[in-house]
Amino acid sequence: MTRLEQLHDAGQSVWYDFIRRDMLTGPGLSDLVEDGIRGVTSNPSIFEKAIAGSDLYDEQLAALGGLDPQTAFETLAVADIQHAADILAGVFDSSGGHDGYVSLEVSPRLAHDTAATIADAMRLWNVVDRPNLMVKVPATKAGIPAIEELTAAGINVNATLMFSLEHYEDVATAYVRGAERATDPSTLASVASFFVSRVDSATDAALENVGTGDALRLRGKAAVANAKLAYRRYGEIFDGPQFTSLRARGTRPQRVLWASTSTKNPSYSDVMYIEELIGRNTVNTAPPDTIEAFLDHGTVRPDSLCEHVDEAQTLITSLPDVGVDFDAITSDLQVAGVASFSAAFDTLLAAIVAKQPGKLV
């Protein structure tokens, strides 16, 4: 039994935070599924690396030379997403729709436009035409009502770019409200993608800027503590009275998904954001290097998310006392995340123009 299968036995599904054409046309993703991978996530940065950073798509791009770069990108991306969804169809079927999903993000240019996000998500849902698709929608102020409307319409949503407990509560509430309006909420599947390592990177920098002993002792702890509080809130919402009527109708809880789980600081364990975030009915989406490291030397500690939750609350509450505005950090991280994906998308489109014959950058 692989360590990924041990995680599944502990109630957590591991999804692969990467997609590229060669892992779909060769044995790559199929082998990963054999090892215990149960889903795939993508984002504009991943597609930018795959398409702009390789020649795997050049032949098809040449054939799409008459299309504008955004349409050309979507043609490539949809083909990959459909192929991945077909490979994962067995997981989807055998799990009764619990796993086997592939995520595709709406255009990051629409992150602050509710109506356009809803329209783009519905269009992608119809174009991809796979029951195991999840459409990624950012948890911005404009994204929250879009998440509710899409859920009400029966579309599987991966709500992304959450960094704070407030972000999480807004997303979970939007899912519940949408599910209450859905014709058949028992068909819904959704995850709330809560980002982890970026929280430590930003908080550590702030703690180091303060520079006191009390501040420096908190480095490398905020992200896991923050995630534990989000998971506690998940339990309060989805195991509590707020979800009772929906549970009676066969509605699945919206699982928390841990995103950004590669360790950025080389002095920290390269598997800390897997080992410390194990909990029932959760997902961890991790990039290839992190998954390889965990398969090699990770430790499965069931329900590690439920350990020392009171201490996690104390730690987050103490950050302002040592001079760190944690609320401002998490708010800024969401703004930066949207900007980062938009920049990657712009770089990707420019690379597509450069690769298309007869096009000028």
pLDDT at position 100 over 50: yes
> Which residues make Cβ contacts (< 8 Å) with residue 2, sequence separation at least 6?
35, 36, 295
pLDDT at position 358 over 70: no
User: Domain with 339 in it: what CATH number?
Assistant: 3.20.20.70
Percentage of residues of the chain with pLDDT beyond 90: 95
> Residue 361 falls within a domain, yes or no?
no
Query: Which residue from 43, 344, 330, 287 is spatially nearest to 194, judged by alpha carbons?
Result: 330
Q: Which pLDDT band, with edges at 50, 70 and 90, does 361 fall under?
A: very low
> Tell me: the pLDDT tens digits for 2-13?
999 999 999 999
- This prediction's pTM: 0.96
Average pLDDT of the residues in 21-47:
96
Please report the pLDDT score of residue 65 as a whole number: 82
Cα 267 from Cα 310, distance rounded (Å): 26
CA atoms within 13 A on the CB side of 323: 13
Q: Which pLDDT band, with edges at 50, 70 and 90, does 355 fall under?
A: confident
> Tell me: the pLDDT tens digits for 318-328?
999 999 999 99
pLDDT at position 252 over 60: yes
Cα 91 from Cα 192, distance rounded (Å): 20
Q: Which pLDDT band, with edges at 50, 70 and 90, does 264 fall under?
A: very high
Please report the pLDDT score of residue 356 as a whole number: 80
Average pLDDT of the residues in 96-108:
97
Amino acid at site 288:
P
> Which residues make Cβ contacts (< 8 Å) with residue 138, sequence separation at least 6?
108, 111, 159, 160, 161, 334, 337, 338
Domain range spanning residue 219? Answer: 3-355
Phi, psi of 191 (to 5 degrees): -130, 155
> Residue 292 falls within a domain, yes or no?
yes
Phi, psi of 160 (to 5 degrees): -125, 175
> Residue 360 falls within a domain, yes or no?
no
CB burial of 97-122 (b: ≥16 within 10 Å; e: otherwise) equals: bbbbbbbbbbbbbbbebbebbbebbb
Coil, strand or helix: which one is 142? coil
Q: Which pLDDT band, with edges at 50, 70 and 90, does 360 fall under?
A: very low
> Residue 99 falls within a domain, yes or no?
yes
Return the active site residues.
136
CA diameter of the chain? 61
Number of domains into which the chain is organized: 1
Cα 351 from Cα 209, distance rounded (Å): 38
Which stretches of 102-194 are DSSP H helices?
Answer: 114-128, 143-152, 165-181
pLDDT at position 162 over 60: yes
Identify whether the C-beta of residue 302 lies closer than 8 Å to the C-beta of residue 275. no
Cα 27 from Cα 87, distance rounded (Å): 10
